[in-house]
A and B are shown apart, each in its own frame.
Chain A
């Protein structure tokens, strides 16, 4: 059984919020570029070198987390946009979108 007390507007707002947060997180990845702006450490001190090594991984990770958020938001938006009065159709269509 599906409950449709939730309104399309609520889902749409949640979707928009997820997209906004996803974009914000992805923007933090660019900040990592600033954080990695440590000059090459002279040989023999590993902290600076290691930081530069891990930075690309962090950028990639933050962008992936942001993209995942945005996808969630887009799916919630799509769900809200395809809202009909047919409960069964909604449930099947939304499940396909959200999976």
Chain B
């Protein structure tokens, strides 16, 4: 059974703990009654002072009752252990879910009734954009759901098979009780390992462009105005008339000088850039129940520009995928995953981290001649005419795994493109 967000959040663990205590008390009582029966009934009947046909019948009957009690007590132990495991597993899942929700709340990340995070936009810290916490929180929500799913999958069958009553073969019933109890203990031993997978925090974030100082240099009226006008009256309309709406919108956003975060939709990017969509699909490979995580990685179209719109809007960008695959009671696999995207919208020289160039930025060229340099665009931010900002986005996806079509690709080699 697939455990959804609300089921996990609303499940009354206290009531299950009460049931666990009741069953434990029943098991204890039956254990004491078994000892009592052995001493007060079986011992006098079997003490050797009574022999003959009637005694044999009585002894056989008492022994059969005792076997029944022993098997019953073992199955009670099975139920108790299954409930112990359920309380532990679901309790851990709920606690992890609460931590994930607290993390989200601490970063103003909204979480829907379906357990899906969303970004609020506005201004975000340059080095700690909201999408980082949103993806960490989303991973914790998936982890919690997966833990609860595992618990349900492991312990519900045990509760069911602990009801093998009424078999006429008492010996077989007793043997089943012992085997089933041993199997339950094996499942219970898996719990600590499953719980150790519930981790907070996220993977390291790939170093990105440092925040550039804003409005700290003197304006060069002629040069800066010319650059601004070329971009405002030339660049933005140029993108727009080509239908590259995201590129136009982000450039205009930069020129409007607010510094506010811009939101993008990763699902739209996956559709527009099949190579990106294919990278996402590859994360899940052949499938199989489990949690999936890429950490923050880079996507660069290189020369395979499948979307001029997104190429001019972002060029390369960072993305992260978190998700899970689970199997329902009918054997159908379902995939739930979230794609996060981030990119600082910045102009300037190549990105250098630790002395190594990790990202190229190109001047805008016409027939090979630069018409607007990266340095000229960077200067607009330095003098406070335009302003850098963080681009971030998050999208959620659910599908039946294995029923996914391949995304058609297209190839368009372009060179000398400007890059942000």
Hey, which bits of chain A sit against chain B, CB under 8 A? 1-6, 10-11, 13-14, 17-18, 21, 24-25, 28, 31-32, 34-39, 41-48, 50-51, 53-54, 57-58, 60-62, 64-65, 68-69, 72-73, 75-76, 79, 90-95, 97-99
Q: Judging by beta carbons under 8 Å apart, are A65 and B57 in contact?
A: no
Chain B interface residues (CB < 8 Å from chain A) = 1-4, 6-8, 10-12, 15-16, 18-19, 22-23, 25-26, 29-30, 33, 36-37, 40-41, 44-45, 47, 49-55, 57-58, 61-62, 65, 68-69, 72, 79, 83, 86, 90, 148, 151-152, 155-156, 159-160, 162-163, 165-166
Known: A38-B19, A44-B7, A48-B16. A6 touches B49 (CB 8 A): yes
A24 with B29, Cβ < 8 A, contacts A38-B12, A39-B15, A46-B152 known: yes
On whether the beta carbons of B15 and A37 are closer than 8 Å, the reply is: yes
Find out whether the CB atom of B26 lies under 8 angstroms from the CB atom of A61: no
**7 closest Cβ pairs, A-B complex:** A2-B52, A94-B54, A17-B40, A35-B22, A44-B7, A6-B50, A3-B51
CB of B6 within 8 A of CB of A65, answer: no
Report whether A34 and B22 are in contact in the complex, using a CB–CB cutoff of 8 Å.
yes
Tell whether, in the assembled complex, residue A36 and residue B19 are in contact, meaning their CB atoms are under 8 Å apart: yes
- Choose one: B12, B36, B50, B53; the contact of A5 (CB below 8 Å): B50
Residues of the A chain whose Cβ atoms lie less than 8 Å from the Cβ of B29: 24, 28, 31
Task: List A contacts of B79 (CB < 8 A).
Answer: 54, 58
Give the docked Cα–Cα distance between A11 and B47 (Å): 11
* Complex Cα–Cα for A29 and B61 (A): 22
Q: Is the CB of B18 within 8 A of A37?
A: yes
Query: Please, which residues of chain A bring their CB within 8 A of the CB of B156?
Result: 46-47, 50
**Is A44 in contact with B53, judged by CB distance below 8 angstroms?**
no
18 residue pairs A–B, Cβ–Cβ below 8 Å: A2-B51, A11-B44, A11-B50, A14-B44, A24-B29, A25-B30, A35-B26, A38-B18, A42-B11, A45-B152, A46-B152, A47-B156, A53-B160, A57-B163, A72-B62, A73-B41, A91-B54, A92-B53
Q: Which of B1, B54, B86, B156 is the most central at the interface, judged by chain A CB atoms within 10 Å of its CB?
A: B54
Of A21, A45, A64, A91, the most chain B CB neighbours within 10 A belong to A45
